[in-house]
Amino acid sequence: MKKLIFLIALLPSILLADDLKMCQKIVSEINSSAPMTINETTRLANAECISSLKKGKKVKLIYNYKILDGRVAKKDIESRRPNLVNNWCSKPNMTNTLKAYDVEYKYSYMNDKYIASINLTITDCK
């Protein structure tokens, strides 16, 4: 019985480790094409995965973007949120990814000065 309780207590950590491994595979594929120019002001620098130590939190898939134009401000980044939500929630394969991972779009200038982040979870699709 003690072994069973131990395994049940350990299961979330095991599942999280599997989620992290799968996320790292996704990131490896993304990073094989990075850096990638998205448009005239935005470049995908790389992607990464982080696991939360908080119970019940999912692995987070982070897209790190560099803004090439110093005139882009936080409000400009935040205005991208509706399009991102629509993209993630209207395509079944992306929605499935969002069910497995929380997603963050992190924006910085070329000098690494942080601008803003857009965080997405599956609850954004409801």
The CATH number covering residue 10 comes to 3.30.300.250
Domain count, the chain: 1
Domain limits for position 116? 2-125
Task: Look at the pTM and tell me if it is higher than 0.85.
Answer: no
CA 55 to chain centre: 18
The residue count of the chain comes to 126
Q: What are the angstrom distances between the C-alpha of 116 and each of 11, 76, 99?
A: 35, 9, 23
Span 93-114, pLDDT tens digits? 889 999 999 999 999 999 999 9
pLDDT of residue 75: 96
Span 19-69, pLDDT tens digits? 888 999 999 999 999 999 999 999 999 999 998 766 667 899 999 999 998
How far is Cα 98 from Cα 101, in angstroms, rounded to an integer? 5
Region 116-125 average pLDDT: 96
